[in-house]
Amino acid sequence: MMRLALAGARAIVDMSYARHFLDFQGSAIPRAMQKLVVTRLSPNFREAVTLRRDCPVPLPGDGDLLVRNRFVGINASDINYSAGRYDTSVKIPFDVGFEGVGEVVALGLSASAKFTVGQAVAYMAPGSFAEYTVVPARMATPVTSVKPEYLTLLVSGTTAYISLKELGGLSEGKKVLVTAAAGGTGQFAVQLAKKAKCHVIGTCSSDEKSAFLKSLGCDRPINYNAEQVGAILQQEYPQGVDVVYESVGGAMFDVAVKALATKGRVIVIGFVSGYQTPTGLSPVNAGTLPATLLRKSASIQGFFLNHYLPKYGAAMDHLLKMYASGELVCEVDLGHLSAEGRFTGLESVFRAVDYMYMRKNTGKIVVELPHSGNSKL
């Protein structure tokens, strides 16, 4: 017997009697919904993922929320996930999408200790590319309203915050290089390094993105399509850079390692340039790496957000406070400038992933899921 806090009446009900239940505005929560499902393992998102229109709306368990998604975030790793690289034993079909913002429409009894029906929440949990997602309450953060800016913090902001705090060793005057600096997570690495009074260099692919980086306080944006990153670093930073927040991999990783100062460090955040390949990797000059590191007493360390979940809650609290007090820009890219227009509806997740891999985005790519009228009884 499943007990839920019922949306409209805010009561506990036995779902075995309920044919459908009502949300907090009195609308029926339908029994069927749309969601994206990985039906074939591939880093080609369009090949891997299918939009299914008649999936049952899941019921929350005791410690869970049922969230009606309003905004979902696109991540570079959506294609690693659809390729089965997160869990090599995973069996298709499985749900996809890492994060969402929406409102609670039903919840389990334990979850009702902290959350209520109608509450706006932001969450990191698998399966967000769906109209409704069951989210463990411990992975959800109450927010003041359903806004896309909160999405920027869930994966991207916390990755920058926790990695730089735990591994960056930032202090005044340090030179910090951020690659993919104008993207979802790069924008936060730039701002957090500036808050720590560092000198920040950021790479990106266009003059428009350079201008955005300037607006965030980045001291030296480098548009790599107009200037050579390696040459600029050699000329303008002959003593090297102290910290690299590195997301691109391949040739960019090699440039970053070469540019390290004595005792410099590279934090490996990702290697997006390789994700579309069959291996998911882009080759680097690994043969010379031991010698390069030794000669500089330098280091390279990986960072994966899932390994730092005990730090997650405090990181979100901190970032939310910074945003609320106007100290943090949370740039959202809803696709206004994409050829086919704004990213609206689950079907536009495919376009949004393409848009990222065409290197078009400035800030965090977000897809809006407008609520359809046909969910009403």
137 binds ligand NAP (CB under 6 A): no
Q: Which of 57, 105, 106, 180 binds ligand NAP (CB under 6 A)?
A: 180
Q: Two tokens at 107?
A: 């919840």
For residue 82, state whether it binds ligand NAP (rule: CB under 6 A). no
Q: Does residue 349 belong to the site contacting ligand NAP (CB under 6 A)?
A: no
Considering the rule CB under 6 A, would residue 361 count as an interface residue with ligand NAP?
A: yes
Does the footprint of ligand NAP cover residue 240 (CB under 6 A)? no
Looking at the Cβ atoms of 359 and 371, the one nearer to ligand NAP is 359
Contact present, 6 and 13 (Cβ < 8 Å): yes
Which listed range, 81-89, 228-236, 303-311, 342-350, lies at the site for ligand NAP (CB under 6 A)? 303-311
Q: Contact region for ligand NAP (CB under 6 A) — 2-10, 50-58, 229-237, 299-307? A: 299-307
Question: If binding is defined by CB under 6 A, does position 157 make contact with ligand NAP?
Answer: no
Shortest distance, CB of residue 310 to ligand NAP, whole angstroms? 14
- Rounded to whole angstroms, the Cα distance separating 278 from 43 reads 7
Per CB under 6 A, the list member of 156, 191, 210, 348 interacting with ligand NAP is 156
List of long-range contacts for 305-311, beta carbons under 8 Å, 24+ apart? 305/155, 305/158, 305/159, 305/162, 308/162, 308/163, 308/166, 311/162, 311/165, 311/166
In angstroms, what is the minimal distance from the CB of 76 to ligand NAP? 4
Minimum CB separation of residue 206 from ligand NAP in Å reads: 7
Residue 335 interacting with ligand NAP (CB under 6 A): no
Listed residue (160, 61, 146, 47) closest to 101, CA to CA: 146
Residue 342 CA to residue 148 CA, distance in Å, equals 13
Among 22, 222, 269, 346, which residue sits at the site for ligand NAP (rule: CB under 6 A)? 269
Closest to ligand NAP by CB, 119 or 156: 156
Exposure b/e, 237-273, CB count within 10 A at least 16 = b = beebbbbbbbbbbbbbbbbbbebbbeebbbbbbbbbb
Q: Is 332 in the site for ligand NAP (CB under 6 A)?
A: no
Q: Does 237 bind ligand NAP (CB under 6 A)?
A: no
The candidate with the shortest Cα–Cα distance to 96, out of 350, 336, 351, is: 350
Q: Is 155 in the site for ligand NAP (CB under 6 A)?
A: yes
CA-based nearest residue to 72, from 344, 357, 372: 344
Check binding of 182 to ligand NAP (CB under 6 A): yes
Question: Would you give the DSSP letter of residue 93?
Answer: S
- Give me 104's structure tokens: 């609670």
Q: What does the alpha-carbon distance between residue 87 and residue 251 come to, in Å, rounded to a whole number?
A: 27
Q: Which residues bind ligand NAP (CB under 6 A)?
A: 75-77, 155-156, 159, 180, 182-186, 204-205, 209, 247-248, 269-270, 272-273, 303-305, 356-357, 359, 361
